[in-house]
Structure 1
C-alpha cells in the first residue's frame, strides 16, 4: 500500500489552476492569491506550476 497524500484539489483561493500547481503553491507557503509575488512568472520555478496557472492567476487578479 502506498503512502496516503492529501488531495489539495485543483482550486487555489477560488482559482482553478490544477492540482499540481495548487500543491506547488501550498508547498511553497502560499495560501491566498494576495500572498503571491507581484511577478507571477517567478512561480514558474516551482515544480508543477506552469504558464497556464500564471495566466489564470493573472486573470483572477484583474
Structure 2
C-alpha cells in the first residue's frame, strides 16, 4: 500500500512525517488531517512509529488549517 497516495499528511521538505509515522497513522485508521483534529497528541505519540517530530509537524500543519490536536 502506498500511504502517501492515500493520505493528506504533510509532504514538504522539512515538514514531512516519515514513512513509519505515516504507516502507523494509517494502521490506526487516520488517513486525513481532519481526523486528527481534537485527538490527544499523547494518543498519536503512543502509536509505534510516531515520534515527537512527527507530532510537531502534524500539529503545525493542523494549526495552519485552523485545527489542532489537544
Change (3 A) 1:14 1:30: closer
1:13 aligns with 2:8: yes
Provide TM-score, normalisation by structure 1.
0.74
- Alpha-carbon distance in structure 2 between the residues aligned to 1:29 and 1:14: 13
SS in 1 for 2:30: coil
Q: Which has the larger radius of gyration?
A: 1
- Alpha-carbon distance in structure 2 between the residues aligned to 1:21 and 1:33: 13
Higher RCO by CA contacts (8 Å cutoff, separation 6 or greater)? 2
RMSD: 1.6
Gaps of 5+ in 2: 11-15, 64-70
Residues paired across the two proteins, number: 55
Provide TM-score, normalisation by structure 2.
0.67
**Which structure has the highest strand share of the two?**
1
Which residue pairs with 1:42 in the alignment?
A: 43
